[in-house]
Structure 1
């Protein structure tokens, strides 16, 4: 029902940046809409979707925006969306009671191990996406309430983020950010030094079918006429920088790369909303160059192309970087931006 995400097991735990919960929500709702489980006129909003998936409103909102872009839902005059584009009768129902089919193995039970494993990468991405926009406090009790878990679990999540240098405990309060211009520069420098080396180590382990699929996906945008959705751009970034690079058998290198990538890929969703079509074409061409060299058995050439891509990406991000959030930026409800 949804695209499976594979994290570098044994390297950086089960975390995965880019497209965690909101991608799963969007794919699941799309499937239920297309097969008629959620018929035209069904009302969906952040609250009802968050309740059905046992998540917070942030990924629910992102998923609904994506469905709106795809033309599967339309915005209501007052609040929320309806399935379809018609002006017929509205159906306000609990999504699970209406028959919403969740992915196999999906568990919304708050205290379970599977729920905890699923929850962490979502919170990790949500918090990391705020780092470029100032200093934020993270309310531990608010985090627990947002996800319907105990404060113990919320505390465990923040401790894990502390180990990645994302969160820090000052006195009795948790803080994240800000990500400064120097931080961006340092993290990109880490990436263009380490990611090419990791890709060379990973190259013999990458299956040809996987590289071919990634190549075909990104080739569609080499001559793009319009800018794809930001979520699509993130999927393309994940294909290369996570699914290929982090296949390296050097776990220490992968962990260092992941720590450098995390706030960059997470904030990328917001940055990419202002990306021009020509920048998308350029990114696609650079990814194509890496994948084609991999398929040709030229690992060194692929590594060189990857370094060039990261240096180019740094120049683009620096131009777009801003210390204050854009107008449509929404922080999780358990976070507050410091003045």
Structure 2
């Protein structure tokens, strides 16, 4: 009689998940001493050497943490060795340390979650000012052509950022964004963003500041002709790129969570045009001028005042948006009544 289990074994073997390969290589490097105990590992550095995204690296780290092969390092990575290992040391991670051939390294390939993350997040954010929507996991998976687990994983990440939540029936929902929410978000932003600016501005290359100022000057020469894309790029310069060099990742994470309300201005600009934002951009100009002069404290104070003034303008725009036609949202977003 034919041995069915053997016949199955003779079929083509499915490749192991990428995280398994990463975990195996790291374990071998640790075992042979090429990757010494105490070495600090970060997702980005390991992903670069393997030519992959950070997701499988994160999974490999999680398994190795559970196996007591790694320990956490102050929220900024992991350290080789268990809880009783040597003191953490920063070493430049190389292909040789992991036994990899540097000639075979490829450019990182984004996984399915990263390929759809931006589009998925944008659709959810655009729904915020128009009411509460239920998110259908299976419909979203079908829309993007991925597994439901990938959609669920992304929704978990979005919940950590404060974008989505679960209702009393454990359904994923997004919105509504209310005038009270706008007030609360902007009140927090007015405190956190100036802190990030104080840390980040001195570390931002002068060439980058000059680029921001040149882009702003070009827009201010003819604000009536400024397009939505230009306005959003200038907003990114002021509220993301100018802050991103802060060495405090927890501060930057909280800043990002409070910037959800900025979608109101983006939707308003898409429907009305960007010309009403000329006053706000003049405030940007003052902040950049202080930074160019090296007056970072004055720049932080100006940014705080800019955010306070923007709060009322954004609340008024949210009221105006209520009469705009609802956007053409994907089918996985369904109007929801709690």
TM-score range with shorter-chain normalisation? Answer: 0.5 to 0.7
Please give the per-residue CA displacement for 1:244-271, whole angstroms capped at 9, x wherever unaligned: 123211222111111000x223343212
CA contact (8 A) 1:134 1:177 kept: yes
Note the 1:207-218 alignment, pairs <5 A. Answer: 207-218=205-216
CA contact (8 A) 1:143 1:334 kept: yes
| Correspondent of 2:128 among 113, 131, 137 | 131
Residue 254 of structure 2 is matched in structure 1 by 256
Residue 145 of structure 2 is matched in structure 1 by 148
TM-score, scaled to structure 1: 0.63
Matched, 1:319 2:316: yes
Please give the per-residue CA displacement for 1:54-103, whole angstroms capped at 9, x wherever unaligned: xxxxxxxxxxxxxxxxxxxxxxxxxxxxxxxxxxxxxxxxxxxxxxxxxx
Distance in structure 2 (CA, Å) of the matches to 1:225 and 1:310: 20
Offset at residue 275 of structure 1 (A) = 5.4
Note the 1:1-339 alignment, pairs <5 A. Answer: 113-170=110-167, 171-224=169-222, 226-261=224-259, 263-273=260-270, 279-322=276-319, 324=322, 326-327=324-325, 329-338=327-336
Distance in structure 1 (CA, Å) of the matches to 2:159 and 2:326: 28
* Larger RCO (CA under 8 A, 6+ residues apart): 1
Does 187-196 or 116-125 show the bigger shift? 116-125
CA contact (8 A) 2:209 2:292 kept: yes
Distance in structure 2 (CA, Å) of the matches to 1:205 and 1:302: 14
Unaligned residue ranges in structure 1 (runs of 5+): 1-8, 11-103, 108-112
The size of the alignment, in residue pairs, is 233
CA contact (8 A) 1:227 1:280 kept: no
Q: 1:206 to 1:280 in 2, by over 3 A?
A: same
Distance in structure 2 (CA, Å) of the matches to 1:129 and 1:199: 27
Residue 87 of structure 1 is matched in structure 2 by none
Moved over 6 A (4+): 104-107
Distance in structure 2 (CA, Å) of the matches to 1:215 and 1:328: 35
Distance in structure 2 (CA, Å) of the matches to 1:153 and 1:276: 36
Greater helix proportion = 2
CA contact (8 A) 1:132 1:180 kept: yes
Larger radius of gyration: 2
Offset at residue 278 of structure 1 (A) = 5.8
Distance in structure 1 (CA, Å) of the matches to 2:236 and 2:290: 18
Please give the per-residue CA displacement for 1:168-213, whole angstroms capped at 9, x wherever unaligned: 2232421111111111100000111110111001112101011110
